[in-house]
Structure 1
Amino acid sequence: MSGCGSSGGEPAAKKQAPPVGSQEIDAHPLSDLRQGGTLKVPIQQWISQYNFNTPDGQDGDAQELTEDVEPVLFRTDARGEAHTDPDYLVSAAVTSDSPQVVTYELNPHAKWSDGKPLSWLDFQAQWRALNGTDSAYEADDTSGYDQISDVSQGADAHQVRITFKQPYADWQRLFVPLFPAAAYSTPDQFNKGWLEHVPISAGAFKIARYDKTGQTITLVPDPNWWGARPKLDALIYRVLDESAMTDAFLNKETDEAPAELPEDYRRLAKDPDAAIRTGSRWDEVHITLNGGRGPLKDVRVRNAVEAAVNRQAITDAYGADIPYRISELGNHFFMPNQKGYQDNSGIYGKYDPERAKKLLDQAGWQDNGAGKPRTKDGKPLELGYVLSSGGNQSQVDQAQLVQQMLGQVGIKVDIQKVPMNDYFNQYVDLGNFDLASFRNVDLLYLSMAYSVFRQPQGRNLFQNFGSVGSPQIDALLTQAGRTTDRNKAISLYNQADAQVWRLGHSIELYQRPQIAAVRKGLANYGAFGLQNITDYTRVGWLK
């Protein structure tokens, strides 16, 4: 998850967005790359939790760094199709249907940084931490793992057998990445053992330095790596305000910068040292409504907010200066260029300020006239819209548009800027907001969305940070996850989506296009489409 925004500007020539399956990475064989060199990549905040199976670890940058150094058993290609990674797996397949059994054959050369080989014990520890039976593990998503009945050793030390209670269609998304049992077997290890550092790794790269003062994290090739030797000498992640990323690229302080935002695209496209690369990513921008507190506890108020927000106006403002056509997004589970997409928003996605006013009347909020907030029991109808101080002008523009729209129906919106490194950890992750906008990205397996919409359990919000859910949605998503017939699963997800709109969980805005500025001469890197992992063993500088 990361920041989003919108911006106005002069119209640009429009093209269709890249179709699913497209990517631009300047693909080259390894023989074209020189040995050595450093790649400098920006990230949005300092990583405080590297176990991204916890709510505090759900930042997208944390996930990327962890996957750089831990075993990613399956890698998806540009079309989102999963393939085993031979550095970790010889094979993985469903070997029985009743019950469903998946058998993994591990690469015997694969070892953790503490010298232990990957084994069934790592799978067992991760299952126990994430199956939801022990609340001491602060797991953000138990879906899939809660369908497993047993994890055991197979025919030998390199074989793992996973037995499921019910059929589970997205089994390839589980244990990705695989975490080491030696640092994952107790609640304390799970919750606190990955704070500020990675204790054990098993990748082509390892983290060599955490410089919190300089806000950089340096990765170098692991000399104990058993696979192909990386071309790069170092990969340096640097924490930057999103608003500073374009300048950092233009000043040659980084080698990549996001160019999806209009103000960034205009500047980066003119740089003679920049290659603009485009692809189609699962990437949605939305506004989360917090139904766990304040006026938004009332579904009528949430529905009023939905009706008062002109989604098309926000989408048009964002897309004014980028080269692709942007349309409203009408689905929480599918992107417009994906099979299964249908617009389920109905009346809940329609801009209708008069309906918003009627809903607020029904909820008991008294209209006090134009320009004044409504009141109830002597209290004004006031919502906070939380923004990261490290965001860009486009994010501010979007918040101000929402502020104006809600103000027209009597809802006062206070825009609250909070420190960049606190935005998720102290606000979004804890449900400490009324309105917040961020992105959900790379939900390549449909069941990955379950934790975003499931009902919270006590203080565990999973990823449903606004605490809006229902038993009906949970049941539909659980059934969909067990359905191996793709068309039937699609129907169930669309039924759930209609309920998500009705409850006012979040306001979908648009699919954000994938546009990246990359330093010329950098190969096998850029806009990856639906590819889930960057293979840094293949990234490097051309000779």
Structure 2
Amino acid sequence: MGRAAAAALAALLAATACTSQGGSADVAKTVVPTVDAEDNNPQPLDNIKDGGELREPLQQWITQWNPYQVDGTYGDAVEIMGYLEAKLFRSDAQGVYHPVPEYLVSAQVTSTSPQVVTYKLNPKAVWSDGTAIGYRDFEAVWKASNGKDQAFNLADSSGYEQISGVEQGADPSEVKVTFSEPYADWQSLFSPLLPASGISTPQAFNEGWIEKVPVYGGPFVLQNADKTAQTITLAPNPRWWGPKPKLDRITYRVLDAAAITQSFLNNEIDFASAGTATSYGQLKDAKDSVIRTGTPWDEVHISFGGNGALADQKVRQALGRALDRASLIKIANKGVPVEFKPLDNHLFMTNQSGYKANAGDWVAYDPTTAKKWLDEAGWKDAGGTRSKDGQPLELHYVMSDGSTQAQSDLATATQNMLQQVGVKLTIDKVPSKEYFSKYIDQGKFDLASWRNTGSFPLSKTVPIFRAPQGDNVFGNYSKLSTPEIDGLLRKAAATLDPAKAAELYNQADVKIWELGHTVELYQRPSIVAVRKGLANFGAGSLADTVITSVGWQK
């Protein structure tokens, strides 16, 4: 999900895709990402039973349900809220948005100067308290999310700060949103739409969704949340006007990563990640189950910090040439049935329209060139660790003490590669609960590896590379940027023509590679074990789940 980019827990538990135990003898198939790669057992509704339960794992308890609030960005919570509230658009497997007919008759740009988007609402759309969905809900989301009132503790103001006004159109079922400057990804806004009654004041916005969902606008409602048992149950919304959900209930149970595999084997849940060699080995032959694979927006990388020796772009560029990406990817891929392809773009996934391989020679493995560039940067080789002005070239690779074996192997391999060019790399394991809050978020690292997930549509990637403003680094924890990159990203996000926007994003990506900001490794596939017979659900790509169509085959 877009708001779950770099979700801390998911990134921490699976920053690389596997442990290194186990060979490739069990590899069942190789999947190369394609534009529409997904594997969810698509079935027409006539083939699906009425009723039944879907049991899913959660990795942490959900406290804040408001996805616009800074504490409400946990990925599973955002996904569930898409089932409970008004999700206006749905992405297909190519990443193209389509209006959801239960909410929108149409939605289109009706003026470009200024940009005006006109939404024609389904007159049947209603909140669970009986109030019709209308322009006041759009207005409330905008006012809470545009960043003008600091009392609203926001997760992200992108897009909303570009809106200058929200008003009723020709009648109560029409909404007009006017932008002060163009915003290409307008379809990603108001997702999900929340009721004005629940977010109009800072107190309601920040506190009204803690441990509860006050009003519903989706096909399901939160029937029960048992904090003691750590279970959450969804049931069909009795006021829902759209197609009746096939499932009677969806049950979520909080489980730590190690317990999820065993719970699936014990037939306690119907869905489990099989993305590590260990979990795949245990789950591939599990009774009444199938392995499904897909290609979501999910990448693994090594980021460089921007302090000390790494403040010098030439040093960062040298490290990019010292790393053997192919070998690092093999470490992550060992024992897992889906081939991890190198990712040569910071902004597009390989299955997104507009993807171009922009890495060029910046990360082509070449220790000789790496040594030459370090020499040019003043770090001289004295037969061991390089030094400059009497200071040794010593860097720190920060990783969580909860890392998998593969993450440790990745760090060790990186350490050995850099040693070959005279760079001493110390691996610092830090407490897992502090990995993001005290280290990554604060930019206290020289090298570190984590995942960014769900940074789609493309404007969601902008905070990762935009220039910091004062203490606000957005998502750019390296704090590395240039006015040229910042300008290209802003211009791309304001370009309504998708082809022209993609061209600008790719121009920015070329400059990001040159900057030595991040070494992209691979697009991380989704590999899951699913109970046999579960239809329209599994390993997705860029497509959203149509939860009313999920159920059990007849």
* Shorter-chain TM-score tier: 0.7 to 0.9
| Alpha-carbon distance between aligned partners in 1 of 2:353 and 2:214, rounded to the nearest angstrom | 40
User: What residue in structure 2 maps to residue 539 of structure 1?
Assistant: 550
Range 257-266 or range 349-358, more displaced: 349-358
Structure 1 segment 113-152 matched on structure 2, within 5 A? 113-152=128-167
Matched, 1:485 2:500: no
Q: Give the conservation status (yes or no) of the 8 Å contact 1:427–1:433.
A: yes
3-state DSSP class of the match of 1:141? Answer: coil
The letter for the 1-side match of 2:343 is L
User: What residue in structure 1 maps to residue 3 of structure 2?
Assistant: none
* Cα drift, residue 55 of structure 1: 5.0
| Alpha-carbon distance between aligned partners in 2 of 1:474 and 1:137, rounded to the nearest angstrom | 26
| Alpha-carbon distance between aligned partners in 2 of 1:397 and 1:196, rounded to the nearest angstrom | 39
Q: Deviations over 1:427-478 (max 9, x none)?
A: 5455565544332233342222112222233343322233322322221111
3-state DSSP class of the match of 2:362? Answer: helix
The letter for the 1-side match of 2:294 is G
* Cα drift, residue 313 of structure 1: 0.8
Range 180-189 or range 81-90, more displaced: 180-189
Query: What TM-score, normalized by structure 1, do the two folds share?
Result: 0.88
| Alpha-carbon distance between aligned partners in 1 of 2:453 and 2:355, rounded to the nearest angstrom | 16
Range 76-85 or range 188-197, more displaced: 188-197
Q: Give the conservation status (yes or no) of the 8 Å contact 1:46–1:239.
A: yes
Q: Give the conservation status (yes or no) of the 8 Å contact 1:18–1:278.
A: no
3-state DSSP class of the match of 1:272? Answer: coil
Structure 1 segment 84-95 matched on structure 2, within 5 A? 84-95=99-110
User: What residue in structure 2 maps to residue 529 of structure 1?
Assistant: 541
Q: Give the conservation status (yes or no) of the 8 Å contact 1:140–1:461.
A: no
User: What residue in structure 2 maps to residue 225 of structure 1?
Assistant: 240
Q: 2:466 aligns with which of 454, 457, 460?
A: 454
* Cα drift, residue 412 of structure 1: 2.6
Matched, 1:307 2:318: no
User: What residue in structure 2 maps to residue 383 of structure 1?
Assistant: 396
Q: 1:318 aligns with which of 316, 322, 332?
A: 332
Seen in structure 2, the aligned counterparts of structure 1 residues 10 and 85 have a Cα distance that, compared at 3 Å, is same
Matched, 1:335 2:346: no
* Cα drift, residue 309 of structure 1: 2.7
Matched, 1:405 2:417: yes
* Cα drift, residue 252 of structure 1: 1.7
* Cα drift, residue 493 of structure 1: 0.7
| Alpha-carbon distance between aligned partners in 1 of 2:204 and 2:380, rounded to the nearest angstrom | 51
Seen in structure 2, the aligned counterparts of structure 1 residues 195 and 344 have a Cα distance that, compared at 3 Å, is farther
Q: Give the conservation status (yes or no) of the 8 Å contact 1:55–1:462.
A: no
| Alpha-carbon distance between aligned partners in 2 of 1:196 and 1:308, rounded to the nearest angstrom | 48
* Cα drift, residue 509 of structure 1: 0.4
3-state DSSP class of the match of 1:348? Answer: coil
Seen in structure 2, the aligned counterparts of structure 1 residues 89 and 339 have a Cα distance that, compared at 3 Å, is closer
* Cα drift, residue 315 of structure 1: 1.0
Matched, 1:235 2:246: no
Q: Give the conservation status (yes or no) of the 8 Å contact 2:121–2:173.
A: yes
Q: Which runs of 5+ in 1 are unaligned?
A: none
* Cα drift, residue 329 of structure 1: 1.0
Structure 1 segment 461-476 matched on structure 2, within 5 A? 461-476=473-488
The letter for the 1-side match of 2:218 is G
Seen in structure 2, the aligned counterparts of structure 1 residues 47 and 405 have a Cα distance that, compared at 3 Å, is farther
Seen in structure 2, the aligned counterparts of structure 1 residues 194 and 460 have a Cα distance that, compared at 3 Å, is farther
User: What residue in structure 2 maps to residue 39 of structure 1?
Assistant: 54
Matched, 1:344 2:321: no
Q: Which runs of 5+ in 2 are unaligned?
A: 1-5
User: What residue in structure 2 maps to residue 72 of structure 1?
Assistant: 87
Seen in structure 2, the aligned counterparts of structure 1 residues 246 and 497 have a Cα distance that, compared at 3 Å, is same
Q: Deviations over 1:275-306 (max 9, x none)?
A: 12223323221123343x56544444443443
Seen in structure 2, the aligned counterparts of structure 1 residues 52 and 430 have a Cα distance that, compared at 3 Å, is farther
Seen in structure 2, the aligned counterparts of structure 1 residues 505 and 138 have a Cα distance that, compared at 3 Å, is farther
| Alpha-carbon distance between aligned partners in 2 of 1:180 and 1:441, rounded to the nearest angstrom | 27
The letter for the 2-side match of 1:245 is I
User: What residue in structure 2 maps to residue 282 of structure 1?
Assistant: 297
| Alpha-carbon distance between aligned partners in 2 of 1:284 and 1:348, rounded to the nearest angstrom | 18
Q: 1:498 aligns with which of 510, 513, 523?
A: 510
Structure 1 segment 170-185 matched on structure 2, within 5 A? 170-185=185-200
Q: 1:208 aligns with which of 223, 231, 235?
A: 223
Q: 2:519 aligns with which of 502, 507, 513?
A: 507
User: What residue in structure 1 maps to residue 450 of structure 2?
Assistant: 438
| Alpha-carbon distance between aligned partners in 2 of 1:426 and 1:116, rounded to the nearest angstrom | 44
Q: Deviations over 1:142-170 (max 9, x none)?
A: 33323322211112222110112334332
Matched, 1:270 2:281: no
The letter for the 2-side match of 1:413 is T
Matched, 1:257 2:272: yes
| Alpha-carbon distance between aligned partners in 1 of 2:48 and 2:438, rounded to the nearest angstrom | 43
Matched, 1:393 2:415: no
* Cα drift, residue 394 of structure 1: 2.9
The letter for the 2-side match of 1:438 is W
Seen in structure 2, the aligned counterparts of structure 1 residues 194 and 379 have a Cα distance that, compared at 3 Å, is farther
User: What residue in structure 1 maps to residue 125 of structure 2?
Assistant: 110
3-state DSSP class of the match of 1:321? Answer: coil
3-state DSSP class of the match of 2:250? Answer: strand
The letter for the 1-side match of 2:462 is Y
What percent of counterpart residues are identical? 47
3-state DSSP class of the match of 2:417? Answer: helix
Seen in structure 2, the aligned counterparts of structure 1 residues 500 and 45 have a Cα distance that, compared at 3 Å, is farther
Q: Give the conservation status (yes or no) of the 8 Å contact 1:56–1:429.
A: no
Seen in structure 2, the aligned counterparts of structure 1 residues 118 and 486 have a Cα distance that, compared at 3 Å, is same
| Alpha-carbon distance between aligned partners in 2 of 1:375 and 1:212, rounded to the nearest angstrom | 56
3-state DSSP class of the match of 2:549? Answer: coil
Q: Give the conservation status (yes or no) of the 8 Å contact 2:34–2:350.
A: no
The letter for the 2-side match of 1:349 is V
3-state DSSP class of the match of 2:408? Answer: helix
* Cα drift, residue 189 of structure 1: 4.4
The letter for the 2-side match of 1:130 is S
User: What residue in structure 2 maps to residue 24 of structure 1?
Assistant: 39
| Alpha-carbon distance between aligned partners in 2 of 1:65 and 1:298, rounded to the nearest angstrom | 44
| Alpha-carbon distance between aligned partners in 2 of 1:346 and 1:255, rounded to the nearest angstrom | 43
Seen in structure 2, the aligned counterparts of structure 1 residues 301 and 528 have a Cα distance that, compared at 3 Å, is same
| Alpha-carbon distance between aligned partners in 1 of 2:80 and 2:205, rounded to the nearest angstrom | 17
Range 396-405 or range 423-432, more displaced: 423-432
